Amino acid sequence: MGTVVDSSNQGAGSLPTNKKVSVIFVLGGPGSGKGTQCANIVENFGYTHLSAGDLLRAEIKSGSENGTMISNMIKEGKIVPSEVTIKLLQRAIQENGNDKFLIDGFPRNEENRAAFESVTGIEPEFVLFFDCPEEEMERRLLGRNQGREDDNIDTIRKRFKVFLESSLPVIEYYNSKGKVRKIDAAKPVGEVFEAVKAVFAPAVEKVAA
C-alpha cells in the first residue's frame, strides 16, 4: 500500500487528500497485450485500469496546454516528461473510489520510476511483465485498427527502440527486487489470461482465508 497526496485538494472538496492505494505496474512492449489483459483483470479481480497512454491521449483531446507537446512526443514514440504523466495518474487515482489500481504502460523509463516513487511514495505490489517477441507485437500493432497515430511502421520501430533502451531497464530494476511476474504473452489471449490468473489468484485466496 502507498499513499497518494493530492496537494491541489487540500482542505476542501469531496476528494480525500490522502488515499492509501495498492498498485500493480503492467509493463511490456508495444502491442504485447497490456490493455487486453488489463480488461480481463478488471472484470475478474476488481482492479481499476489506468493506462498512461490513454490518459495522455485524453489530455490531448481535452485541449490542454500540453496537448501539442504530448501529441508530438507520441507521434515520435518518445516518453513524455514524468511530471505531466504523474499528474494525470495522481488525478485519476484521487478521482476514483477504488483503492486497487493496474497502472498500464508506466513507468516507461528510469525518470518515470524515480519521480513516481518520490512524488507519491508508492511502491508497486508487483510488476506484471508481458513478454512478447517483436515480430508478434509488430503484427498485432499493424492489425489493431484503432486509428492510433503511432500504429504505423515508422513509429512502431521507434517505440520498440525506446522499449529496449529505456523501459526494459526498469523491468530489470524491479526484477532485481524480486517484484517481476513474467508472462509469456505470445500465446492466444485466453491462454495468456490463464497465466495472469495464476499470478492474481493466490493473493485473492489469501485475503479470503
Ligand X SMILES: Nc1ccn([C@@H]2O[C@H](COP(=O)(O)O)[C@@H](O)[C@H]2O)c(=O)n1
Please state the residue numbers annotated as binding site: 31-36, 57, 78-80, 105-108, 112, 144, 148, 159, 187
SS3 readout for 28-74: ECCCCCHHHHHHHHHHHHCCEEEEHHHHHHHHHHCCCCCHHHHHHHH
181 CB-near residues (< 8 Å, 6+ apart): 126, 127, 128, 129, 199
Give the span between the Cα atoms of 53 and 126, in whole angstroms. 20
Give the span between the Cα atoms of 131 and 195, in whole angstroms. 12
Q: Which does 77 bind (CB under 5 to 8 A by kind): Mg ion, ligand ATP, ligand X, none?
A: ligand X
Over its C-alpha atoms, the chain yields an Rg (Å, rounded) of 17
Pick the stretch among 2-10, 27-35, 42-50, 84-92 that binds ligand ATP (CB under 6 A).
Answer: 27-35
Query: Binding to ligand X by residue 73, rule CB under 6 A?
Result: yes
Helix (H) or strand (E) holding 134: helix 134-142
Query: Binding to ligand X by residue 77, rule CB under 6 A?
Result: yes
Query: Binding to Mg ion by residue 35, rule CB under 5 A?
Result: yes
Minimum gap (Å) between residue 203 Cβ and ligand X: 25
Pick the stretch among 2-10, 34-42, 66-74, 91-99 that binds ligand ATP (CB under 6 A).
Answer: 34-42
Cis, peptide link before residue 107, omega less than 30° from 0: yes
One residue of 32, 37, 66, 85 binding ligand X per CB under 6 A: 85
Write out the binding residues for ligand ATP, residues 73-112 only, by CB under 6 A: 105
70 CB-near residues (< 8 Å, 6+ apart): 56, 59, 60, 64, 80, 84
Query: Binding to ligand ATP by residue 34, rule CB under 6 A?
Result: yes
Nearer to ligand ATP, 4 or 151 (CB): 151
One residue of 53, 77, 107, 124 binding ligand ATP per CB under 6 A: 53
Residues found near Mg ion in the complex (CB under 5 A): 35
